[in-house]
Structure 1
Amino acid sequence: MKKLFTYMESPIGPLSIVRNERGICAVQFSILGEGEEIGFEPSDSLLVEAVRQLEEYFQESRMSFDLPVDIKGTDFQQSVWETLRHIPIGETRSYSEIAEQIGNKKAVRAVGQANKANPVPIIIPCHRVIGKNQSLTGYAGKEIDKKRELLKIEGVLSRINGQ
């Protein structure tokens, strides 16, 4: 099975959702084009469900995602991403707290890099990781505005350092 994708409009701009035979493998902040290895398929049942859950999230009626994901990464990245999945909506953690949770207090920068490499943002909530001083640092490269909007949707932004 080649990868399939669909896209949706959201409060943070267009999102493309990609699946493979095992689950959702990417959420991208842009509209993808078809190619040899990926095809547009908006009626695929898993993609329809992913769009439905994301829409519910943006409407503030979904607290967590129940989607199969199939993401590739190093063992370290996988441990960070698994830890992120357990940050409840409406809460944040610092990069150093995540590093401590995975048992490597000195890996703060590596946690940041794993966050940046997260292939399924929003579903795995890397936007809930903020600086130790509660600053909105790094999100999907330079997409701080998206992080700010996601935290606003979750009702967290007003509690973060003067945001």
Structure 2
Amino acid sequence: MWGSSGSASSGAGPPLPTSRHCAHCRTWRSGRSARTAGEAFGVRAVFSDHASLLAQSDIDLVAVTVKVPHHRELVSAALAAGKPVYGEWRLGRDIDDARAMAALAAGQGVPTVVGLQVRQGPAIQFLQELLGGGYDGEVLSTTMVGRQLNPAH
């Protein structure tokens, strides 16, 4: 699993009770950052470069939860290593990125999925509870506004 922040990484945690988060890689960060994240998730196998993580034979699935500009490099590396990939939505910077990754996955015969891991975030779950309990009446429409806090990365 690659993650750029604690919240992103934790949201993409094990989707099934039978799975476990067995390794963690913090790319573009220090080894210390990787160890700190590993401790937070109770993971002993931590890496600060993706090649080391991909070399592990016991990694059955890679979740890529970094910022979008880095998706293509990391997803492509995982697919080239024959690892199934959970890619955070939005898959790529543009349609060319997405098509290149889709073609590589098809060519490798590796299962992939693009998902919305942020749905598992505490703020979103709280909102779901409020709306599910009728807090705001009947929802007729919604608007979601997002903001990137650090556009340089």
TM-score > 0.5, shorter chain as reference: no
Tell which structure's C-alpha radius of gyration is larger: 2
**TM-score normalised according to structure 2 size:** 0.27
Instruction: Give the TM-score of the pair, scaled to structure 1.
Output: 0.26
